[in-house]
Amino acid sequence: MSERLARSEEEVEHSRAGLTRKNQELEARRRLMETVLETVGTGVVVVDAEDTLTAVNAAAGRLLDLPPDVVGQPAGQILTGSGRQEILGLIERLLSGRMARQEREVLVPSRGRDRHLAVTVVPLPGSLGAPPGAVVVLDDLTPLMRAQKVAAWGEVARKLAHEIKNPLTPIQLSAQRIRKAHLKRAPDFEAILVECTGTIVQEVEALKNLVDEFAQFARLPAANLKLASLQEVAEQALSLYDGLFAGVAIDRRFAPDLPSVRLDPDQMKRVVINLVDNAIEATEKKGKISISTEYDREMGRVRLGVADDGPGIPPEDRDRLFVPSFSTKKRGSGLGLAIVNRIVQEHQGTIRVEESPPHGTRFVVELPV
């Protein structure tokens, strides 16, 4: 009995030493994880199954402008305001079991400047069969977006210089031709004068429209968002085309259950008009254009689609469509879709371009409900 007791004490001591080592290893790992989470630039937010914040690293607090000591508080009370509520919606949909993983770019207004965040929400398995929580990973895309904007505006400057130079050449040639005919007392001076002044007026008008469009892009006002019907806005825009193009058929496919969304009716109407104008030009004014709306309950988004049966857009050009000064047209400032993209971003939405089978192009605008 004494020997067995001694062996038992040794086993207990050995187990205690092993448990101590395990605890030390776990503590070291915990400190390492805490150090990593607090030093990385990626934001990490952990939410349990009860929608309570259990961990928020420094980067997440900075990116979301969260107050200190938010751990232990309900996410619904902390993630408020534009952009943050969209992140909260992603978390709630994942916790409800409707979505396994969610990814989205979100514009979050903050003190000083807005931030473009790439948000990824994945499930966090619970312990011992407990309901899973959620891990939110936030990557700041703002520096990348800023670099892209700088590069885009550099391209805009080059494009503007090129587009201004184009009408200056016929203006100069017309003025020289008038001067030459006047000095030589040309018998057809009157005809030359009428022809050349007409060219000058036409090119100056084109130059004026170009400058006005660039100025309008630079002065685009902030969206005045209010609850409104996207379908009504689309109908108002489409009414402008009634009977205007005999060779164009416009097909309306509106969802009956479309909820109201926060939007600026005037600016969103401009989005629809610009997309429809592009579709009409793509079909060379003799094709079919489809305008559709749908409500995605799972994602909490309303979609507006504008499709045409034109020749389509090459895949290598699609990523550049929304960059200022890029255009697939022979003439034009290339600002139309850049303005559309900017308006959609002001509405916390997204826009993309895809194929429209069997041939053609489809633009899709998504707005949060």
Question: What's the 3-state SS for 186-248?
Answer: CCCHHHHHHHHHHHHHHHHHHHHHHHHHHHHHHCCCCCCCEEECHHHHHHHHHHCCCCCCCCC
Give me the CATH number covering residue 132.
3.30.450.20
Left, alpha or beta for 145 (phi > 0: left; psi -120 to 50: alpha)? alpha
Q: Which of 161, 191, 218 is the last residue of a domain?
A: 218
Residue 120 in domain:
yes
Give me the CATH number covering residue 251.
3.30.565.10
Task: Please list, in sequence order, all residues whose beta carbon lies within 8 angstroms of the beta carbon of residue 49, skipping any fewer than 6 positions away.
Answer: 95, 126, 130, 131, 132, 133
Residues 211 and 331 in one domain: no
Q: Which of 168, 201, 218 is the last residue of a domain?
A: 218
Number of domains within the chain: 3
**What are the pLDDT tens digits along the chain (369 aa)?**
888 888 888 888 888 877 888 877 777 776 777 666 666 778 889 998 888 998 888 888 888 888 888 888 998 888 888 778 888 888 888 888 766 787 888 878 776 567 888 899 988 886 666 677 899 999 888 777 677 666 766 766 777 777 778 888 889 999 999 999 989 888 888 999 999 999 999 989 888 877 777 766 666 667 788 899 999 999 999 998 887 888 888 999 999 889 999 999 999 999 999 999 989 988 888 889 999 999 988 778 899 999 998 888 877 676 667 766 545 454 444 567 888 888 888 888 888 888 888 888 999 999 988
Q: Which of 140, 155, 179 is the last residue of a domain?
A: 140
* Per-position DSSP letters for 252-276, written without gaps between them: EE--TTPPPEEE-HHHHHHHHHHHH
Residues 242 and 350 in one domain: yes
Q: Which residue has the tokens 């017309």?
A: 174
Tell me the whole-structure pTM to 2 decimals. Answer: 0.55
Residues 232 and 183 in one domain: no
Residue 35 in domain:
no
Residues 255 and 363 in one domain: yes
Residues 252 and 210 in one domain: no
Rounded to whole angstroms, the Cα distance separating 238 from 173 reads: 42
Residues 240 and 332 in one domain: yes
Residue 350 in domain:
yes
Q: Identify the domain containing residue 207 by its residue range.
A: 145-218
Residues 165 and 121 in one domain: no
Residue 5 in domain:
no
* Per-position DSSP letters for 127-155, written without gaps between them: GGGPPPEEEEEEEE-HHHHHHHHHHHHHH
Rounded to whole angstroms, the Cα distance separating 347 from 45 reads: 25
